[in-house]
Chains A and B, each alone.
Chain A
Amino acid sequence: MQATQLEHAISTIRVRFGSQALTRAGELPPPQPWPSCTPLDRLSGIEGLPRGRLTLLTGSGTSGKLTLALSLLAAATHEFANAVVIDARGDFDPWSLSHFDPELSSLTVVRLDSEPSGEAATALARAGAGFILLMGEIPEPWLGPLEASANRSGTVLVGVVDAPGRALAHASSLSLGFSRIDWVWDRGELVGLRTITRCLKNRVAPPLGESELEIRYPLGQQLPFSTPVIEVLLEKAEVECVSAVV
């Protein structure tokens, strides 16, 4: 009897407000992926970084997350008309990006304090910038509007922080933690690092485990690395998932 009444209520809502007004969770379409051509695509479970959602790269210093983010940014400059860096810390150096062969004409750097950076990111996501790299935390009041704006325009949002605050962690849909396990030396010179990338949170697909990456540092224009990020080992380790909402 109750089931009948519930079905009746659902059909009434759909008739009055449209078929999309009430959707079962299982029928919701998955976020559209942006294939980044890095091992992160496999970890996200949708063969790419989710459009319209916030992806966080977290981990302590020298764990490779910024190098990976820069390679994503360089790829985005070739694919999107507008790739934007929200540089709240003020330390973004295009020199570190130049080794990944970016298309600089589509790259814009917005350098603002932490407080107005949330407003800037929201405005740009709402306007439809293709890719936004957030270097630093976003103030909590702006996380909701930012998520909603990106969701509507399909902007790929990637944040790089050492340790995200609770609000930022909560706002992210995909959170990947980096932890360095070893340095890579070549003829006595430091050329990269090995790091484990774990999927800490995944709201876009069932969470996948972890991956071991070898990240090569760019060593100048004379020694370009065509594939600076290499997946060297795949272990089906136990999933460490802080929060997984499917």
Chain B
Amino acid sequence: MRICCGLTGHLELAKRADLYGRPVVVGRWDDHVIAASEEALPFGVSSGMPLRQAEHLCPQATFLAPDPEAATRLRELISSALYDLAPVVEVKVEGIAWIDVSGVVRPGDSIREARRRLRTAIGREPRLGVAPGPFSARVAATRARPGRVVQVEDARAFLAPLPMHELALDAEQLERLDLLGLRTLGAVAAIGPRELESQLGREGRHAVLLARGAEPDELTPWRPPQFSSAHRQFEPPVEDREALLFVSRALCGDLADELGVRGAGAKRVRVRFVYESGQPDERSSIVRHPLSSALELFGLIGGWIKEWQPRAPITELWIELPVLEAAGRRQLRLWAGNDGTSEEVAAAFERLQERHGDGVVRKPRPAFLSSPLPAQRFDWVSS
């Protein structure tokens, strides 16, 4: 396994790029410090300490209120930016981005591109580390200069001389390790997991495995939202069908590009027209196979637009793909002959109901079988 880790600093700090190079502390008043910039660390400020104490230690710092929603949005942005470099990506708001580059054809290119995208998103150079696991990669990244990468081949050998403070243990547990004389990761790795477990509990066992480079933690892969849409506003409003077709073709191209990056296909397609009068009009359909190319999308949507009778000039056109699924399913068609699935048949039933009403597709359920009246013998349930 090869994991690349990029350290960017806490994402709460990224919203004020103009303060880069100065001490900045993020936290709510009467609460603890959530993030502190590198420039504040020499004053003794660290995450988790009371904000009043941080103010006492570093009064010249800029104090910011946290905005967790903005940090989460930024995390999603970074995740989606890194997602097409490698399929397994995890980003934390603490400013840690992991990419699993094992199996990637050109890992060097992916790492280089990850650095560029992180720099674009955060506004400063990330520190990079490449190692056999997430823990060793993060530790390697902390030892890299901004914009540089530290590569680790043997995680145990790399970790052995480092202080035991690299382990994510609380102060009491670190003190106990110190009392036991285990001051380096190499010393922690040398004792058995059971022995340290008896001292520190489960965290002790976990710490030994980390120190040995066994990498017990796995990445939690980020998955893109299963929804996509594109829209265009018209000023002045449009009535010409050819213009709508032209715009919808362009939107289909944009959506197809996005689907291609995600490796997804649209299982449901919805088109919405917003009229000048304000009342929108829409049409949607479930498709049999996930659509992923511009030609497929436009083949469906263009057909709808050609037969559409707009009530008034159109001010907005929306193309929404509310249900996405892996486009890889399409490949089954290449070699499967009798490949009908219940899901596809159910989708065919739904399309019939959309076009002709719910009552056309029904299932009989026994009701009052001994009734002399035929209508009472079965209930008809919409499929």
Chain A residues at the B interface, C-beta cutoff of 8 Å: 51, 81-82, 93-95, 98, 104-105, 107-112, 116, 120, 123-124, 126-130, 152-155, 221
Contacts and interface: CB of A to CB of B under 8 A. Distances in A.
A227 to B, nearest CB: 22
A127 B378 CA distance: 27
Interface stretch (B33-41, B292-300, B308-316, B337-345): B337-345
Contacts of B340: 82, 127-130, 153-155
B333 to A, nearest CB: 10
A152 B289 CA distance: 15
Contact of B352 (A94, A98, A110): A110
Contact of B362 (A93, A111, A127, A152): A111
B338 A128 contact: yes
B28 interface: no
Interface string B347-370: 111011001100111111110010
Given A82-B342, A128-B340, 17 more contacts: A95-B377, A98-B366, A105-B363, A108-B363, A109-B361, A111-B359, A111-B362, A124-B345, A124-B349, A126-B288, A129-B348, A153-B338, A153-B339, A154-B337, A154-B338, A154-B340, A155-B340
B383 interface: yes
Nearest to A155: B340
A129 B364 CA distance: 17
A123 B362 contact: no
B364 A104 contact: yes
Among B338, B362, B369, B377, chain A packs the most CB atoms within 10 A around the CB of B338
Contacts of A154: 337-338, 340
B345 A127 contact: yes
18 contacts: A82-B342, A95-B374, A95-B377, A98-B369, A104-B364, A104-B365, A108-B361, A108-B363, A108-B383, A111-B360, A112-B352, A123-B351, A123-B352, A126-B288, A127-B347, A128-B345, A129-B345, A153-B340
Given A104-B364, A109-B363, A154-B337, A123 B348 contact: yes
A130 to B, nearest CB: 7
Contact of A126 (B348, B349, B359, B374): B348
A148 to B, nearest CB: 14
Nearest to A113: B356
Interface residues of B, number: 30
Among A116, A124, A154, A155, chain B packs the most CB atoms within 10 A around the CB of A124
Given A123-B351, A123-B352, A108 B342 contact: no
Interface string B96-107: 000000000000
Interface in B209-262: none
Contacts of A104: 363-366
Interface of A is mostly: mixed
Interface of B: 288, 337-342, 344-345, 347-349, 351-352, 355-356, 359-366, 369, 374, 377-378, 380, 383
B356 A116 contact: yes
Nearest to B344: A127
B369 A221 contact: yes
A128 B374 CA distance: 32
B374 A93 contact: yes
A127 B361 CA distance: 15
A94 B288 CA distance: 29
B378 A94 contact: yes
A88 B356 CA distance: 14
Contacts of B352: 110, 112, 120, 123
A81 to B, nearest CB: 5
A120 B378 CA distance: 23
A104 B369 CA distance: 14
A8 B383 CA distance: 55
A57 B349 CA distance: 26
A153 B228 CA distance: 31
B345 A82 contact: yes
A93 B374 CA distance: 8
Given A130-B340, A153-B339, A124 B348 contact: yes
A109 B339 contact: no
Nearest to B361: A110
Contacts of A51: 338
A104 B383 CA distance: 12
A219 to B, nearest CB: 14
Given A116-B356, A126-B348, A107 B364 contact: yes
Contacts of B374: 93, 95
Contacts of B377: 94-95
